[in-house]
Amino acid sequence: MTGLEIRQLRVSFDGFTAVDGVDLDVRPGDLRFLIGPNGAGKTTLVDAVTGLVKAAGSVRFGGEELLGRSVHRIARAGIGRTFQTATVFEELTVLQNLDIAAGAGRSMWTMLRRRKGVPEPVAKAMETVGLTDLADSPAGTLAHGQKQWLEIGMLLVQDVRLLLLDEPVAGMSHDERQATGSLLERISAERTVVVIEHDMDFMRSFARSVSVLHAGKVLSEGTVAEVQADPKVQEVYLGHTAAEATADVAVREA
Amino acid sequence: MTVILGQTFTGISIGAVLLLIALGLSLTFGQMNVINMAHGEFIMAGAYTTYVLQKSISSAGISLLVALPVAFLVSGALGALLEWLLIRRLYLRPLDTLLVTWGVSLMLQQLARDLFGAPNVQTRAPDILTGNITLIGGDDPLTVANSRLFILGLAVAAVVALSLTLRLTPLGRRIRAVVQNRDLAEVSGISTSTVDRTAFFIGSGLAGVAGVALTLVGPIGPTMGTNVIIDAFLVIVVGGIGQLKGTVIVAFALGVLQSVLEYSTTVSVAKVLVLVGIVAFLQWRPQGLYTLRTRSLA
Amino acid sequence: MSSLPHIHRRRFLAGTASLAAVVALSACGAKTDAAGSSDKAAKIDVSGDTVKVGLLNSLSGTMAISEVTVRNSLMLAVDEINASGGVLGKKIKPISEDGASDWPTFAEKATKLIKEDGVAATFGCWTSASRKAVKPVFEKNRSLLFYPVQYEGLEESPYIFYTGATTNQQIVPALDYLKSQGLKKLYLVGSDYVFPRTANKEIRAYAKANGMTILGEDYAPLGSTEFSTIANKVKASKADAVFNTLNGDSNVAFFKEYKSAGLTAKSMPVVSVSIAEEEVKSIGTQYLDGQLTAWNYYQTTPGAANEKFVKAYKAKYGQDKPTSDPMEAAYVSVYLWKAMVEKAKSFDPEKVKAASDGITFDAPEGKVTVDGASQHIYKTARIGKVGSDGLIEQVWDSGKPIKPDPYLKGYSWASGLS
Amino acid sequence: MNLLKSRSARAAAGFVGAAVVLFAVAPLVLSDFRLGLLAKYLCVAMVAVGICLAWGRGGLLTLGQGVFFGLGGYAMAMHLKIADAGPGNLPDFMQLYGTATELPWWWQPFANPVFALAATFLLPMAVAALLGSFIFRRRVKGAYFAILSQALAAAFAIWLIGQQATTGGTNGLTDIQGFFGYALDDPVNQRTVYFIIAAVLLLLIALARQLIQSRYGELLVAVRDSEERVRFLGYDPANVKLVAYVVAAGMAGLAGALFVPAVGIISPALIGIVPSIEFVIGAAVGGRASLVGAVLGAIAVAWAKTALSEEFPAAWTYFQGLLFIVALAFLPGGLASLATVVRRRRAAAAAEKKAAVIPVGEAA
């Protein structure tokens, strides 16, 4: 049983190498946290896995090569992601959002008819993320945390096997974080979950394993305790943060 | 041989006109993402400025030189006014600016008709600009029109001035900062609304300058703007939004292409071929010749 | 608005018609073959002491640059006629509509003028395309249109009076003139629409029969303002003269480019058939000095009638406003209609048509006579030369008014044309 | 569920109301001329239905609807011209200006009424499918797509003008006498044409409503608001957009085809950039995302153009320009959003809500 296997992944923008030869293995059932200073290449790594940016190297999931496939084909292979800012369809209701997420394989005929009732997986996902009561509310009216849950719910109805979550708890209250954390724990029982996170408390509470990225490379890997003890990690987090922040701006301006 | 050279020069001169009419758009459309259909009417305003000035300044040469800065100010002021009245409400809806400024363009055309009469008006070009210089003499001479050389020079000067302004002045840095990250610029103490208005002023002002140049080669009338506006947008789109060098290269490339096709086919066919060619080109490079590649746009 | 009972009656009638329509849906209306059996002549509103006429010109869009002057001229004629007592004792009430340089709009407005306003006649249209668009409207409703612009011929609508030149009154004389001057190698430049293409077909036929050669033929889309390539081609052809059928904005760009290419009226004269005084004014004598035009009227045409016309026009619209051939033809058209109506003693189009043959008018261009058969008018052809003062001086004329021959039936070389 | 039921009940009532107005009231109160104009406005409204779908719902600013309108219009007009000329004869303009002695090959299939009728919508749809599959797959969008559409409209119009001998050039195809054997100058037949147009419009509205309310309609809105996100859900947004684009093209084609018997002319003047923008503006003024808004907006703007130009022939473009500016700059959801705006104001005391840019709820 193989999960996510990344070998020698490399991404560059106009001469700037954002991901520089990353190797990464995430087993099924893992709840892996990716941490690292700004500009370390975390989001770019996820972009590469999901086909948003061109990359060299190899990304396999369940033994299948993903690099070179188009975004929607990668999605159909069971890989789902969220973004730093929650992207739900604000003008559609919670139910409509989940229904769309559940329906990528629907026939033309089904598509052209109206939805009758609530499909089973949608109802189940609404239950899991706790939004059943808000089924008919437009997603735009949800609170920030609820939107993130809706996004995770959308990944659940897609029945993805690999979830890539980009800062899912940013901006959440303490209670929301706890709820999100336990949601992730439940989900990761059956799927592979990778979380990009800056919030160290959140990481310490819920991570099963951690990879630290720095300047496009994997700096350290292991359990929370192992990583925290790594002197290289300490140096990066205490010493170079300011310089990396500048590099991040440089990428945007390139 | 003379034909090929001649058509290349013709193409370059067509390109110079294209460049001049599109240059202002490279700022308002390319940098600020505003699809200003009234840009053509700002060109018209520049042309009418020349006409009005000639009524009080009898020397065609002096009035033309005076018209350049005055038209810049007149069209620039119109642009800043438009920005303040309407466009600032529409930055989040770039496609709506197209329709709103279309309405503005209709009104400005009618205004020109009421102010200056429906028929085209005439300006006198300085005599030196109605002649030509001979590059290759002989039985089949190759000549280049002085008016075209003037426009070419003006276009090059405008491009240099604009790119220096964007690169070297504090204003230019502010414009680029706002274009790249509006929020960040705002929190860094840049007044984005002032920058927007100034950028719009400059972009529209350049349309005015183009209008002065057009009086040398074309008609001056209420609908002169609509004749050129789509070509101008196409130059920007093909060149790549926000890319001055793309605008320059594409203006000249389209000019040469047009002139060569016109020579070998007919004007109509050339026009159709150029348009279809542009559509095909955008299949190949959907973001234009040069693209801004950043993570934020990915 | 009309009185209340009137509205009620109309609604009732319309209602019946609507019910009838539903019935007709099953009965399937009139077949094409049966068309024309019912009388559908337009109703002319002659109630009260006025009679309405329609003025249909483009006041907006690209054609406004030309058509607004025609509108001015029509208004002048209407005002003059009203000042002298009107037509059959009724004052003329002009109904103004904007064709907006859009052919379907012309058709819409023509229908409106006829059906809603009940006009006795309509004056206007400039482009052939607008005329072609309204032609079926006037024919269907049996109402009259007076069309004041020179055109490509090959048309005789029973409900249109053509007061501008047809080809044998403008283009053929221009070719005769060129031939007489020994200018036998021609280059043809025109806008891409019906008039230039048809004119050039006729020019080719004429050239073939008269030992002239056509060195090239180029068209630019209407509104096109980039002429450097065409100027290059013309220059390289080393023609004796250029025959120019460009229209509107394109002329300005063409002549600016022509001069820039080093071509002059001396080295290679251009004969234009769409450049009148108004266009000279917008292009500038700097570019046009010495070039040739072919028309039936110039502001400088001698005669008391023209002096009066020019004076009245300038008094009404400004001393700097020139008069031109289409304006004159428009002005004349209103007077001709008046004369026809007075001869027929009726506003009824059929009676007006019947009365039209032989109607004369002492026009600014000289005496004009209506040819009842073709509904065109006899006109004197005049070749002019643009002077440095912006006016056009006549250099040649046909001596007497030429009988209109829209299908060029009287010219053997034109036999294969239509 | 109750909400849905009452909504479809309201929609049904709306349809009946519209049918009564179009089939009974309008023919009763309008003169033949005004009814003819209404027929023309309804054709514009058909284009607006497609625009509502493609732009309002799908976010595709289709500034080239003139092309499809023209394809449909020319397909119809070509058949009618051939029929008018009678068997073995050339259409009038070809005899006058052309050199050919027989119909050009690409005219010949249009002699068949079934082919011509099918072509009025299938031809634009095929062209749209071809263009769209290229354009959307290459992810040309936003301003690029809008300007590209305009370039195509311009190119098509210039091409038509250049082919005078076979397309009538600038004149277009004019003086159309009959409509499948029925004389068009007979007022009864004109009225019948009006009824056909009204019926087709209602049909298209019903079709668009079904599409908008279907799962596809929800997906289309999702693509409009976040194309990337939809791609991550495993859909190909290009296909989603393509369907809306092709359907809109078919509707524009039908509108063009029916415009021909209603007005009696089709010309390049109806195809270029200006008419294409005008099609969009009607829908935008009424409310691009709402079917009712788009349709009423298109009719209202076309009507305003007639009314203003009749009232102020020399100054009407001021009013027209002002109408566009005010409606679009200050009422982005169009007139259809007025009701929503008012309702929001009333409910302002209630919880703070994030104002949606474009209301989605009140379709049809």
pLDDT at res. A248:
45
Number of domains in chain A: 1
Percentage of chain C exceeding pLDDT 90: 80
The CATH code of the domain at B2-119+126-297 is 1.10.3470
Q: What is the mean pLDDT of chain D?
A: 88
> What is the pLDDT confidence band of residue C52, given thresholds at 50, 70 and 90?
very high
Structure ipTM? 0.86
For D116-138, how does the pLDDT look when each residue is reduced to its tens digit (9 = 90+)?
A: 999 999 999 999 999 999 889 88
Domain carrying residue C290: 167-301+382-414
Q: Which chains, if any, share at least 3 CB pairs under 8 A with chain A? A: B, D
Based on the fold, state whether residues C139 and C57 are members of the same structural domain.
Answer: yes
**Cβ proximity of C138 and C114 under 8 Å:** yes
> What is the pLDDT confidence band of residue D2, given thresholds at 50, 70 and 90?
low
Domain carrying residue A66: 4-253
**Residue C155's CATH number:** 3.40.50.2300
Structural domain includes residue C182 = yes
Contact flag B132-C62 (C-beta cutoff 8 Å): no
pLDDT at res. D337:
81
Based on the fold, state whether residues C91 and C173 are members of the same structural domain.
Answer: no
Q: Which whole number is the average pLDDT over D71-81?
A: 97
pLDDT at res. B226:
87
pLDDT at res. A239:
55
Nearest residue in chain A measured CA to CA from B180: A253
Q: Which whole number is the average pLDDT over C63-73?
A: 92
**B-chain residues near C230 (CB < 8 A):** 262, 267
CA distance C289 to D33: 50
Chain D residues in contact with chain A using a Cβ-Cβ cutoff of 8 Å = 210-211, 213-216, 218-219, 221-222, 225-226, 228-237, 353-354, 356, 358, 360
pLDDT at res. D359:
40
Q: What is the pTM of this model?
A: 0.89
pLDDT at res. C3:
33
User: Of A52, A53, A252, which is closest to B181 when you measure between CB atoms?
Assistant: A252
Based on the fold, state whether residues C91 and C141 are members of the same structural domain.
Answer: yes
Q: Which residues contact D127 (CB under 8 A, 6 or more apart)?
A: D67, D68, D71, D249
pLDDT at res. D352:
43
Contact flag C262-B266 (C-beta cutoff 8 Å): no
Nearest residue in chain B measured CA to CA from C193: B268
> What is the pLDDT confidence band of residue B284, given thresholds at 50, 70 and 90?
confident
Contact flag A72-D231 (C-beta cutoff 8 Å): yes
Structural domain includes residue C73 = yes
Q: Which residues contact D306 (CB under 8 A, 6 or more apart)?
A: C108, D37
Q: Comparing C-alpha atoms, which of D126, D132, D150, D131 is closest to residue D72?
A: D126
The two beta strands, C366-371 and C360-363, are antiparallel
Examine the pLDDT at C29 and tell me if it is beyond 60: no
Based on the fold, state whether residues C296 and C396 are members of the same structural domain.
Answer: yes
> What is the pLDDT confidence band of residue D334, given thresholds at 50, 70 and 90?
confident
Q: Comparing C-alpha atoms, which of D47, D64, D55, D259 is closest to residue D151?
A: D64
3-state secondary structure chain B: CHHHHHHHHHHHHHHHHHHHHHHHHHHHHHHCCCCCCCHHHHHHHHHHHHHHHHHHCCCHHHHHHHHHHHHHHHHHHHHHHHHHHCHHHCCCCHHHHHHHHHHHHHHHHHHHHHHHCCCCECCCCCHHHCCEEEEECCCCCEEEEHHHHHHHHHHHHHHHHHHHHHHHCHHHHHHHHHHHCHHHHHHCCCCHHHHHHHHHHHHHHHHHHHHHHHCCCCCECCCHHHHHHHHHHHHHHHHCCCCHHHHHHHHHHHHHHHHHHHHHCCHHHHHHHHHHHHHHHHHHCCCCCCCCCCHHHC
Structural domain includes residue C27 = no
Based on the fold, state whether residues C114 and C253 are members of the same structural domain.
Answer: no
- Specify the DSSP element, H or E, that contains D240: helix D237-263
Nearest residue in chain D measured CA to CA from B100: D325
Structural domain includes residue C259 = yes
Contact flag A114-D353 (C-beta cutoff 8 Å): no
For C191-229, how does the pLDDT look when each residue is reduced to its tens digit (9 = 90+)?
A: 988 899 889 999 999 999 999 999 999 999 888 888 999
**Residue A125's CATH number:** 3.40.50.300
CA distance B151 to C152: 38
pLDDT at res. A15:
77
Asked which of B175-189, C222-236, D51-65, D196-210 is least confident by mean pLDDT, the reply is: B175-189
Based on the fold, state whether residues C280 and C342 are members of the same structural domain.
Answer: no
User: Of B132, B140, B267, which is closest to C261 when you measure between CB atoms?
Assistant: B132
Contact flag B98-D61 (C-beta cutoff 8 Å): yes
State the angle between helix axes of B94-116 and D142-162 in degrees (0 to 180), rounded to the nearest 10.
50
Contact flag D215-A110 (C-beta cutoff 8 Å): yes
User: Of A14, A53, A253, which is closest to B298 when you measure between CB atoms?
Assistant: A53
pLDDT at res. D137:
86
Asked which of B45-49, B55-59, D96-100, D142-146 is least confident by mean pLDDT, the reply is: D96-100
- Specify the DSSP element, H or E, that contains C112: none
Based on the fold, state whether residues C363 and C388 are members of the same structural domain.
Answer: no
**Cβ proximity of D362 and D292 under 8 Å:** yes
**Cβ proximity of D169 and D162 under 8 Å:** yes
Q: How far C393 CA sits from the closest chain D CA (Å)?
A: 33
80-99 in chain A: CB under 8 A from chain D: 80-81, 83, 87-92, 96-97, 99
CA distance B30 to B60: 34
CA distance C370 to D206: 57
34-53 in chain D: CB under 8 A from chain C: 34, 36-37, 40
**Cβ proximity of D154 and C221 under 8 Å:** no
Q: Which chains, if any, share at least 3 CB pairs under 8 A with chain D? A: A, B, C
Based on the fold, state whether residues C138 and C93 are members of the same structural domain.
Answer: yes
Q: How far C303 CA sits from the closest chain D CA (Å)?
A: 34
- Specify the DSSP element, H or E, that contains D86: none
* b/e burial code for range A132-171 (CB count within 10 A of at least 16 → b): eebbeebbbbbeebbbbbbbbbbbbbbebbbbbbbbbbbe
Based on the fold, state whether residues C189 and C201 are members of the same structural domain.
Answer: yes
pLDDT at res. C95:
96
| All structural domains of chain B with their residue ranges | 2-119+126-297
| All structural domains of chain D with their residue ranges | 1-30, 34-272
Q: How far A83 CA sits from the closest chain B CA (Å)?
A: 13
Examine the pLDDT at B298 and tell me if it is beyond 50: no
The rounded average pLDDT for each run of 10 residues, N- to C-terminus, in chain A (254 residues) is 85 85 89 88 90 91 89 88 83 93 85 88 91 92 90 89 90 88 89 89 90 89 88 73 44 41
> What is the pLDDT confidence band of residue C23, given thresholds at 50, 70 and 90?
very low
Based on the fold, state whether residues C331 and C346 are members of the same structural domain.
Answer: yes
Percentage of chain D exceeding pLDDT 70: 93
* pLDDT: which is higher, D281 or A236: D281
